[in-house]
Chains A and B, each alone.
Chain A
């Protein structure tokens, strides 16, 4: 607080020098069992985020056992040798904390957000989960029901909720990206306890994980505590399967019509795109902001406001470790046929291929991207997750400080080139979502 008074009395008057993100300092090291540890200290508030990223997602699954990684997101809250069933989250709430987890095609991420004096509790919980989580029939049965309920609620019962599943299975033919993390309920039903135990011993091992901690911590003390809680966890002995399939080109436009419990049709297109982290990937991020970042973006302005053809429209960059998809999505307004909506979207997309983006619009999206990038590091949880992601995906946690430069390197010409190269009909899957019973009428 003294600092504020000092600044105030000194009367520093230099207004708005160019935004320069503050450097995020961190320490990274590896334990003898292979666990990567990243520590970031920030004493602004007495909080700490204790997170573990396991480098396992749906792409690591057996083709006959899809949904395992996401299932483990649930199963690993069941308890451990020292944590009774159902107690895991109680420890956290009783400490005034919060916890959760999520699963992508590439990784699974668990976190506890705690007051900083509960750092040990977070380490204990995460190390228990890694050391000897309870993989028992009773927990498997319980969580199987929970996952089914989740699928019902988030996919079956949700308008357009199946779009990712429907899109992925058409956009990829060889690569395990062809299925979504939710996987197959039949596979989960068929799986035996042994298989779950085997999956745990293969993937949930220190040498396949990053422990990322950010908050009001003392680095030396934390290192000692991490050692205490984690070093005794044995290194995994099994080979960790990682897909090596190269997906062949799509080889022509793929189209399908899906019936769903909806009232308004939707048109969803996905273009094959390069993997995350490539130069072209950054160009795609800018393109998606041009199309749907903010109320003045092209899709919002043209499709939603001016033509009133879409109720909602968005461009979603869906990029992963091995490959990416550039998805455009629009829900038709009343009385608008999907064909008409598709051609309106196509004309917006085709503009990206024929006309260079104006200097002013280019500056606008760069500003929006910069705001987004800076804001993603607003919380300890956000920083811990970003550090872990960058480390696992690119082997460079320091991208948290340098990635913005990759965006800034993109030129208007790059945008034109990427659009010309990828946003073509023979490189895309188009889905029409139509109300049940309307498949014929809609086509």
Chain B
């Protein structure tokens, strides 16, 4: 009856239809029933557990093989699993990489691998052929040494970038300090460990851990359980089972008292702050759902409290977040932000304020229910992807969860109360027992950090190092004595004066591209320096016949007094000679600082033309080891530093053969390979 009435209303003129209240957002309908299917499961005689999530919506199928393991301690071979995972996809005993690519494309499919999984997907019709290729990849890989070297080159260049990236540094140091070097989560990759990885290690890894009785094979898509069974038996049935080692690890403990780990990165204009503590929170534990509500309120995203406080209210950062990870070995609570140098101390204080607030104040009901709405919606939307269902099934099997764990997820979520949220905060957010890793310019940010706990210094590999403390400079040491000692260390005034001309060539690599540097000079009046890439001149500076010029990629650039002065310093061959001889240079000794682990005097220089830079001279040898200048960049002031080293004696004068320019985001290492002194350069050679 009711239906007819509604239908009749539909026919009435428009004016009568204004029955929706547009003035406010409509209320959601009743929560939708969540139907999460139980996948078909079976186990092959060799122990391979197979799950089938049949979904006939689209005629496509995927198969994903994964392993019941938590990673391994890679130690001196860190990088083994990431490189091994890639190598697996680069050829089988039947096909090299190109042939394998062709075969997969021919089927309109995809195959991907890692050290802990392998997957294949295609349309249903081609799937039997594709899974046969997957089985070749998994069971009969070629592990080509040539391909491994290609992967190693990529890995090393990636590592080069990561070494300078403050976020990677923060992650590495946090993991190492949180889990320790004897835990799978505490590994750090270095050039050395990546170079240590051999084909044999990779083969050994796969033959040890990739056993069917340690694996799950999950089919998702338009495939029946019977077909999946047939395919798994055909292609993975002959896979031999075996004993898989199950190493156990000491459970990492939270620090007895919060401490601050500072990693000095002098080029930083922002500090990366990572709070972390290990927590005991296993997947599927009763705390997981209420604790996730708590974490999302605290710092789950744009609507979290950390974001509102540190970004919206204080403007310290572009974003501040927290995370709570459940894990079978050990979970973790984390919180992080990148903040302007001068706000490092205040930002840490605000983090701790928010940690304390969520522990001590009841969460307002509307804030709590908004978050639960958000999480329910996300959960519901995630179900659109059939792989989500497969993931649920896998978790249930791997972690021994109740069969209806995900079916009840929304119900459990709805039952979370503000009191629960507070209890979870008290349990998992403990500002008194945390590790606070700060990667930044230690000299600028360290002050005040000791109020949060003891402050210790670490290098990028998570090893404790002496704090960059200020050492006192002996009263007898003046800028002049330092510069004079440098001149003596280069070879002495007379050896320097004997250098009439000089030519040097060197090369550098920037993002895989080769750059050439050439320098020629007739001391002290003619000088040319050219930086080029494949014959294209990137930068050129020329001093000749009293004329100064410079050009860049955009053509000629104007030359000001500062540029002229810099060219004069260089043309003098040994700038210290020029600096001491010219009037108007001002010097100040700013202390002793470590450069590459060795003490160096920092001499601040103010030039007559108004340039400012700091030179660092090795206390022991007297040689120049580093130079820093500051520049205005898009993110504020940026420090550019150049490490100078690898001195080589040429005609009685020590000349640096290596310069490493560090511009924060990018490091360029220039190596000079050809140096000639007094080769009889003529004025016309300087051009």
Binding site for B on A (CB under 8 A): 1, 4-5, 7-8, 11-13, 15-22, 32, 42, 44-47, 81-82, 91, 93-98, 113-121, 123-124, 127-128, 216, 224, 227-229, 231-232, 263, 293-297, 301, 305, 334-335, 360, 363-364, 367-372, 374-375, 377-380, 435-438, 441
Contacts and interface: CB of A to CB of B under 8 A. Distances in A.
Contacts of B28: 95, 115, 117-118, 120-121
Interface string B25-40: 1111111111101111
Given A371-B122, A436-B554, A227 B17 contact: yes
A441 B534 CA distance: 11
Given A46-B34, A82-B24, 4 more contacts: A93-B302, A120-B26, A232-B18, A364-B105
B246 interface: no
Given A20-B59, A124-B26, A296 B125 contact: no
B32 A441 contact: no
B538 to A, nearest CB: 9
Contacts of A369: 108
B127 interface: yes
Closest 8 CB pairs of A and B: A96-B377, A367-B108, A46-B32, A437-B553, A120-B26, A117-B29, A115-B380, A294-B105
Nearest to B384: A45
Nearest to B29: A117
Contacts of B606: none
A97 B553 contact: no
B682 interface: no
A367 B98 CA distance: 19
Contacts of B23: 82
Given A15-B230, A294-B101, A8 B383 contact: no
10 contacts: A8-B40, A16-B124, A96-B379, A96-B380, A118-B28, A120-B27, A360-B106, A364-B108, A371-B108, A437-B553
B370 A7 contact: no
A12 B38 CA distance: 18
Contacts of B379: 96
Contacts of B125: 16-19
A195 B677 CA distance: 72
A216 B32 contact: yes
A379 B384 contact: yes
Contact of B20 (A46, A228, A435, A437): A228
Contacts of A21: 58-59
B514 A435 contact: no
Contacts of B373: 94-96
B158 interface: no
Contacts of A20: 59
B550 interface: no
Contact of B58 (A22, A91, A435): A22
Nearest to A369: B108
A424 B21 CA distance: 60
A16 B377 contact: no
Given A45-B383, A117-B31, A441 B536 contact: yes
Contacts of B19: 228
Interface of B: 6, 10, 14, 17-20, 22-35, 37-40, 54-60, 98, 101-102, 104-109, 122-128, 224-227, 230-231, 302-303, 370, 373-381, 383-385, 511-514, 533-536, 552-555
Contact of A295 (B22, B27, B105): B105
A116 B98 contact: no
A437 B533 CA distance: 13
Given A16-B124, A22-B56, A96-B377, A4 B25 contact: no
Nearest to B302: A93
Given A115-B380, A228-B20, A334-B534, A4 B54 contact: yes
Contact of A1 (B35, B552, B554): B35
A438 B419 CA distance: 66
Contact of A13 (B17, B226, B385, B552): B226
A147 to B, nearest CB: 20
Nearest to A95: B377
A16 B132 CA distance: 14
B98 A228 contact: no
A47 B39 CA distance: 21
Most buried by B among A16, A32, A372, A374: A16
Contacts of B230: 13, 15
A308 to B, nearest CB: 12
Contacts of B38: 1, 4
Nearest to A20: B59
A7 B54 contact: yes
A294 B231 CA distance: 26
A374 to B, nearest CB: 5
Nearest to B54: A4
A341 B120 CA distance: 34
A375 B60 contact: yes
Nearest to A5: B40
Contacts of B534: 334-335
A222 B17 CA distance: 15
B105 A44 contact: no
A231 B17 contact: yes
A383 B615 CA distance: 64
B516 to A, nearest CB: 12
Most buried by A among B28, B127, B377: B377
A46 B383 contact: yes
A334 B38 CA distance: 53
A94 B381 contact: no
Contact of B227 (A13, A42, A301, A363): A13
A436 B26 contact: no
Contacts of A441: 535-536
A228 B552 contact: no
Nearest to B511: A263
A124 B370 CA distance: 19
Contacts of A17: 125
A128 B22 CA distance: 8
B514 A368 contact: no
Nearest to B380: A115
A119 B26 CA distance: 9
A359 B494 CA distance: 80
A95 B22 contact: no
A44 B22 CA distance: 31
A13 B227 CA distance: 6
B376 A115 contact: yes
A96 B108 contact: no
A332 B24 CA distance: 56
Nearest to B108: A367
Given A45-B384, A95-B374, A364-B106, A120 B60 contact: no
A435 B24 CA distance: 54
Nearest to B39: A4
A96 B123 contact: no
A378 B220 CA distance: 13
A263 B226 contact: no
Contacts of A370: 108, 123
Contacts of B512: 334
Contacts of B20: 124, 228-229
A374 B123 contact: yes
A380 B384 contact: yes
A44 B107 contact: no
Contact of B553 (A12, A19, A360, A436): A436
B375 A96 contact: yes
Contacts of A91: 25
Given A13-B227, A97-B377, A360-B106, A334 B554 contact: no
A363 B376 contact: no
A218 B40 CA distance: 29
A361 to B, nearest CB: 9
A333 to B, nearest CB: 10
B376 A228 contact: no
Contacts of B14: 32, 231-232
A306 B541 CA distance: 39
B553 A438 contact: yes
